[in-house]
Structure 1
Amino acid sequence: MKSILCRYVVAGVLAAAAGTTALYATTYLDQVVRGRPSSDLPERTAGRLADLAGLGLGEGDKAESRKQGIGALLGIGTGVVLGAAYGGLRIRVREVSVPVGGVGLGLVATVVANTPMTALGLTDPRTWGTAGWLSDLVPHLVFGLVTAYAFHMMADQAGSRRNQPG
């Protein structure tokens, strides 16, 4: 059981890398299509968290660049952690279909990504409107679906290797 848990967690992490790439691609495509600017919420969150932790990020352009980098890394880290958790859960929760699991994962990703920003008072989802919600929800659903399908493909491949002689 320990070996399969490790495989499923690693598969979840790798699948989340694909899901995170799809999330970023979806977000950038939305920016291209609608001509909208990128969100500054990730970097504002990074700056606020650094302030709360007493971490100095420097001054001027260096501080802004660090906030941007930390904001992006927080998003990637969230995806990786969610992918690992998804892989671990799929050992026990096998009867849930891949599409349902993917949508569930996307919804969880939406909540996990927005909770710190909301708790820090940087945004209020109640004020977003339809376009705001769609620009946030759609990429997270894409993350969840791509992660779930990539995981499913890797888990099937690992299972077929275990069942082959040799």
Structure 2
Amino acid sequence: MSLTKGLVAGAAGTVALNLTTYGDMLLRGRGPSDVPTRVADRFVDRAGIGLGDEETGPHREEAVGALLGYVTGLGVGAAYGLLRRRRGALPDWVAGPLLGAAAMVSSDLPATVLGVTDPTSWDRTSWVSDLVPHLVYGFATASVYEALR
């Protein structure tokens, strides 16, 4: 049951992250990040997986990138559910930032290792654009998990 609650909470957190990201894009008029697509490209290339020809391949890479984001959100939520069962409750003001950081590391670390991005070169705006949606994810995930108890 804790795993299911974690998955549901992670799904809610992922929706909250996406709403925050798309809201930011709307407010600032900025384009979407190409990092998820580039991570997918590097990942499937290193794994020796072909995603199609020049016409369909880029669309599939974009889909893989988006799906990896969902896997991350659901995975962090599921892990939280399992940890909560063993370790007990944390207040939302603690769990939220920890979950946000876990989701951020889970998405940014592979991108960094694959050479897609370098967080040490990000400016303040880039950090805020990455940090805020992940914090929203964390608080939403923690709050929904708590509500399901």
Which TM-score band applies after superposition, normalised by the shorter structure?
over 0.9
Give, in whole Å, the separation in 2 of the partners of 1:141 and 1:61: 36
Post-superposition offset of 1:94: 2.4
**Counterpart AA for 1:115:** L
Counterpart among 67, 74, 83 of residue 89 in structure 1 = 83
Say which of 90, 94, 104 aligns to 2:98: 104
- 2:37 is aligned with 1:8: no
- Aligned with residue 26 of structure 1, among 20, 37, 48: 20
SS of match in other structure, 2:66:
helix
- 2:64 pairs with 1:70: yes
| Cα deviations by residue, 1:100-154 (Å, 9 ceiling, x for unpaired) | 1111110111111100000011100011110000000111111111000000000
Name the counterpart of 1:162.
none
What amino acid sits opposite 2:73 in the alignment? Answer: G
In 2: Cα distance, 1:132 partner to 1:48 partner = 22
Is the aligned partner of 1:132 residue 2:118?
no
Larger Rg: 1
After superposition, what is the alpha-carbon deviation per residue over 1:71-120, rounded to whole angstroms, capped at 9, x for unaligned? 00000001111111000111233252122111111011111110000001
Match of 1:59 in 2: 53
Instruction: Give the secondary-structure state (helix, strand or coil) at the position aligned to 1:121.
Output: coil
The letter for the 2-side match of 1:127 is S
Q: Letter of the 2:95 partner, please give it.
A: G
Where do 4+ consecutive residues of structure 1 move more than 4 Å?
Answer: none
The one-letter amino acid of 1:97's match is P
Letter in 2 for 1:92: R
Gaps of 5+ in 2: none
Aligned partner of 1:114 in structure 2 is 108
Q: Which 5+ residue runs of structure 1 have no aligned equivalent?
A: 1-6, 156-166
Once residues 129 and 104 of structure 1 are traced to their aligned partners in structure 2, the CA distance between those partners, rounded to angstroms, is 23
Deviation at 1:65, TM superposition (A): 0.5
CA distance, structure 1, for counterparts of residue 142 and residue 98 of structure 2:
10
Amino acid at match of 1:75: G
Identify the residue that residue 50 of structure 1 maps to in structure 2.
Answer: 44
